[in-house]
Amino acid sequence: MFSNRNHAKAYVSLGSNLGDRGGNLLLAVRGMMEAALCVTRLSSIYETEPVSEVEQAPFLNMVAEVGSPLPTPEQVMARLLRIEYLLGRTRDVKDGPRTIDLDLLLYADIENHTEFLTLPHPRMHERRFVLEPLVEIAPRVMHPTLKRTAMELLESSEDQTAVKRWCP
């Protein structure tokens, strides 16, 4: 267990495919800063195919690095859920369209399996729309259970969905 939260880094995936997708991402980053999360780096924004059985518009995705001082992983997740709520996120349809989606991917080397929070994110290593922006800002960050870097996970990914830098 990583005990020193003063030097910990966490990574958050941001996604939007409803309304002003780019504006929603920026509002979410602002919301993270207003929630006392120290955003230290942001990836580029990528346009990505939805990974869902539900017919919907393409997503814009990015990853934010959050640095110290960090609240506990549960507190980070609670703040992310509040930001989703404030930005109009509803959960009517599983994997359906959304104004904003915020996922806590990694929090230092912590592994957590509770009803409220699973760390690392259970599907991050399977999703190119997460790995591409993560590799852009933290290619050597280590997945604590798979013991592989983000770059290694991307290189071995079987996900063939389209992920390209967004140029509005």
What are the residue numbers of the active site?
89, 98, 101, 103
**Which of 148, 80, 91, 150 lies closest to 117, judged by CA?**
80
* Cα 29 from Cα 53, distance rounded (Å): 28
Largest CA distance in the chain: 44
- Name the 3-class secondary structure at 76: helix
Helix axes 73-86, 21-34, angle to 10 degrees: 140
Single-letter amino acid code for the residue at 134: L
Count of CB atoms situated within 10 Å of the CB of 11: 26
